[in-house]
A and B are shown apart, each in its own frame.
Chain A
Amino acid sequence: MRIGRWILSAIVALGLVGWGVYTVRLQQANRKLALALEAERQMTINDVAYHANQAQTYLGKALASGSIAQTVRYLSNVQQHAVDAGNAVKQLPFESNVGPEGSKFIQQVGDLASALANRQAAGQEMTAQDRAQLTQIKTKADQISANLATALADFSASNQRMIKPVTFNTTLLLKGYQMQGVGKTTRSGEQSPISYTQGGSSTVTDTNKEMPSLIYDGPFSEHVSKEPPKMTGPAVTLQQAEAKLSQYVANFSQYQVTSRTEVNGKIPTYTFMLQRSGEKGQLSVQIAKNGGFLVQTNHSRPYNESTMTLKDARAKGTTYLNGLGFTGMVPTYGVTESGAATIVYAWSDGTVLHYRDQIKLKIALDTGEVVGFDGRQYLTSHHTREKMAASVTAETAKTKVNPNLAISRVQLAAIPNNAGTGDILCWEFTGTMGKQRYLVYINAKTGNEQQILQLIESDLGTFTI
């Protein structure tokens, strides 16, 4: 029957269409799931590297510290991060030919740190043997952390994925979907020393965190507190602020103002975008509504090949700051990246270096012009203070510094307190242990160890952690 045939064909056609739509939907669902799992895996693999790095850093501080109380604290942090690293490792399907040494090592680090911390808390100082053992562990931890970090950097940069979405090919037909393990090699071809372990996931929240050391933007520069700025002045109008541009921007006549906006928040500002003709990129300038101070600038032009070094850049920066009327600014640490140098300047009153009153400058190494200015911390903290005097002499303070540190410089420095609201006067000792440099701060009133910072050095400059 003709009609019958038509109906049959229609049903079959509909069935096919339905099947097609179903397949497409399945494919989309698969993709979504793959991406969700990918995100989790990416986070976990980053966690491993992060916690391993934290553990290694605290190991260093524990070794560099001269105070029992601080050492206990640092060792507890080591243990915490070792646990976190171990947990993260257990959530990843590392390929099974990666050795079991790594996981075992992480466990050992945690156990040793815990045992030492307990002994110290009971009042027993670290023996020479303890110290030797800890140093040995640190060396190994350094290496593992470096391997992990470089493997991770590779991984990040090459956009590898851990989960490949399903694609329609013969392998799928014949063998089915193959779940992939995590890649195993570091840049130099070595196995990354983490073992393949099975197990469920557990989350341990890290409540022992110190200052987040992830944002490597200079000593004490994370303390951009919620405090209102100390430097204020009479309110300025948009026109008045715009009139100041010629004062703040070098070669202002070369620029055109292309837009004006406002930014609310702790330091309300007027933001101007400036354009130099023929140049790719704009210069943004933020001027405070209260007082008309320069708050931030950022020039977005790409940089050409460098013609000067970080050292030359420091001098340029100092000249620039003097020109703007900021006196007494001393360059502390600097980093060069992709053709620009970022340098942290701190204010000195002649005797004490005040880290809270800091200004960051970004200087292009092709022309030497200052392409970035960040004065928010300076605006927040700078004020006329009472002269701070040390109750403890430098020699007394030195006795509190770990004797294994080879000291190269001593100076008085005011560092932020934990809340970021006040200054703590300290003796700052710059010392080397092994191949790493540390800054040890001894409270100049109490004589106790206040803080340790590690200096990360490379060909590109120094930043602190």
Chain B
Amino acid sequence: MSKRTLLGLLVLSLLFALALPLVAHGQARATLRYGSTGNDVRVAQTKLKDWGYYHGTVDGVYGWRTLDAIYTFQNYNGLLIDGIVGPRTWAALGEYGAPAGTGTAAAPAPAPARPAAAPAGGGGTDAGNIGNTALRQSDRDLLARLVSAESKGEPYEGMVAVAAVILNRIKDPKFPNTLQGVVYEVDAFEPVSNGTIYNPPVEEAVRAAQDAMNGWDPTNGALYFWNPATASSPWIWSRTITLTIGRHVFGL
């Protein structure tokens, strides 16, 4: 190869290398919510980890630790605290994929040093409140994982219905009195027996679990649900059916 060609190639590759970061940042980032998965989650986690907000592993799964980090980040950067990473939060994270005019491109404040024993939840909350809020989070996660495993691919309303059935059982004297009791009741739910309950929930399942925990119940108090195509027990068909959604039938 002649010297000129070599030089030309060198310049080209240099330009390419310089342009690459701009190209990479030029792609718009997806809006992330609790339960999201993917490469964009990884990007956010990496940034947050570098700045000291995030203390978990960069695994591309938007879970409880990531949520906590995002809350803190949004709080310290003057954004509304909602756990949703949209254009404004991405811009604050320094990702140029945000539409023009939103947020600043200046480096956001890195996380202040955390006091050792106080998990974030904002200022002024004490251990009593933190404990209760965290329990609600872990209940929601458990419910979301079961709903996701049972009804992934079903319409959203079907997911809320499944979650509502589980919660209705807690109040009913025929079933255990706690969420964990109902979920792990022997042979009650297939995902517990086959291990799929331990997979991360899909994002819709998290929102559905939340709706059910906030009281929504499309089933009018149903305690059972089953798949008519596979249910073989004659007993289950003696239940009063309240409604049908997707591939599940719900009954009292």
- A positions within 8 Å CB-CB of B: 31-32, 35-36, 38-40, 42-43, 46-47, 49-50, 53, 56-57, 60, 139, 142-143, 145-150, 152-159, 161, 187-190, 206, 209, 212, 214-218, 221-222, 224, 261-269, 271, 273, 281-282, 284, 286, 296, 298, 300, 302-309, 335-339, 342, 360, 362, 365, 372, 374, 376, 434-436, 456-460, 465
A337 CB, min distance to chain B CBs, angstroms: 6
- Give the residues from 108 to 126 in chain B that come closer than 8 angstroms, CB to CB, to chain A: 114, 116-119, 121-122, 124-126
The answer to whether A339 touches B33 (Cβ under 8 A) is yes
Q: Which residue of A lies closest to B250 (CB)?
A: A263
> Mind listing 14 A-B residue pairs with CB under 8 Å?
A152-B135, A188-B118, A216-B136, A216-B213, A264-B243, A269-B220, A273-B157, A298-B211, A303-B33, A338-B207, A338-B210, A372-B211, A435-B128, A459-B125
Chain B residues with Cβ below 8 Å from A147 are 131
A146-B119, A304-B84, A459-B125 provided; 4 other pairs, C-beta below 8 A? A142-B126, A188-B119, A267-B220, A362-B211
- B positions within 8 Å CB-CB of A: 31, 33-34, 55-56, 63-65, 71, 75, 79-89, 114, 116-119, 121-122, 124-139, 141-142, 145, 155-157, 160, 167, 170-171, 177-181, 183-184, 186, 192-195, 198-200, 203-204, 206-208, 210-211, 213-222, 240-245, 252
- Evaluate whether A53 and B216 lie within 8 angstroms (CB atoms) in the complex, with A42-B180, A338-B210 already known: no
CB contact between B129 and one of A38, A224, A457 (< 8 Å): that residue: A457
The answer to whether A149 touches B135 (Cβ under 8 A) is yes
Chain B residues with Cβ below 8 Å from A360 are 214-215
Chain A residues with Cβ below 8 Å from B116 are 188-190
Chain A residues with Cβ below 8 Å from B64 are 153-154, 156-158
CA distance A209 to B197 in the complex (A): 28
Chain B residues with Cβ below 8 Å from A307 are 80
The answer to whether A46 touches B142 (Cβ under 8 A) is yes
The answer to whether A158 touches B220 (Cβ under 8 A) is no
CB contact between B156 and one of A206, A265, A300, A457 (< 8 Å): that residue: A300
The residue in A42, A143, A337 that gathers the most chain B C-beta atoms within 10 A of its C-beta is A337
CB contact between A214 and one of B80, B139, B157, B200 (< 8 Å): that residue: B139
The answer to whether A298 touches B65 (Cβ under 8 A) is no
The answer to whether A188 touches B131 (Cβ under 8 A) is no
The answer to whether A263 touches B243 (Cβ under 8 A) is yes
The answer to whether B207 touches A265 (Cβ under 8 A) is no
CA distance A434 to B243 in the complex (A): 48
The answer to whether B82 touches A214 (Cβ under 8 A) is no
CA distance A286 to B164 in the complex (A): 16
The answer to whether B214 touches A153 (Cβ under 8 A) is no
The answer to whether A282 touches B130 (Cβ under 8 A) is no
The residue in B134, B138, B206, B213 that gathers the most chain A C-beta atoms within 10 A of its C-beta is B134
Chain A residues with Cβ below 8 Å from B114 are 188
CA distance A307 to B83 in the complex (A): 13
